[in-house]
Chain A
């Protein structure tokens, strides 16, 4: 198993540009989530999904969209990038949507918005 994969590893955007961060898992996990990590703020939940076709907002959803058309993929879309979205983004998955399962994290995407 490749586990949780994220692409790209690094990205530089200009203010106002849009882009999609890709996340995929090959473990048939039900639950997937996106976090952003900023110095001194830990990980903050952006959006999560408890199964294909079901998504919900986390703590900091503004400026981001998600969809879950398949079990494997959970892309994160930045609609109009802003410097405040400069961060490291992590995707994670867990076997079931129960809140008790271990989350498996991808290697992260480092995004800079100029």
Chain B
């Protein structure tokens, strides 16, 4: 069964520092992978997704993620954190096995940005 693991339930970075949020997936075949962001008291919105095209995926708000099959990883990065990036981030997987339409989410990482 497909699953994702997000290392670190809380991450703190200084404003202007690199953001790195980790996501590893477990899947028998290359899956589809997503990163979503949730601001307080809101629903989730898509940051970016990997659907078997380019392995380096660029998303909104300066975020990007790289699909690494050898490491079964899809880590989210941003070169310079901004105060407005403070939110909870979720990695999700779908499409494994083929024909699976379930989206499975990780447990989330709450990002805190320090002034």
Contacts and interface: CB of A to CB of B under 8 A. Distances in A.
A100 B32 contact: yes
A41 B9 CA distance: 10
Contacts, number: 64
How many residues of A sit at the interface, in one of the four size bands? Answer: 20 to 34
A48 interface: yes
Contact of B101 (A43, A48, A106): A48
A42 B102 contact: no
Contacts of A4: 43
Contact of B104 (A45, A50, A90, A108): A45
Interface residues of B, number: 25
A106 B102 contact: no
B105 A33 contact: no
A106 B41 CA distance: 11
Contacts of B46: 102-103
Interface of B: 6, 9, 32, 34, 36, 42-46, 49, 51, 90, 92, 94-95, 100-108
Interface of A: 4, 31, 33, 35, 40-45, 48, 50, 58-59, 90, 92, 97-100, 102-103, 105-108
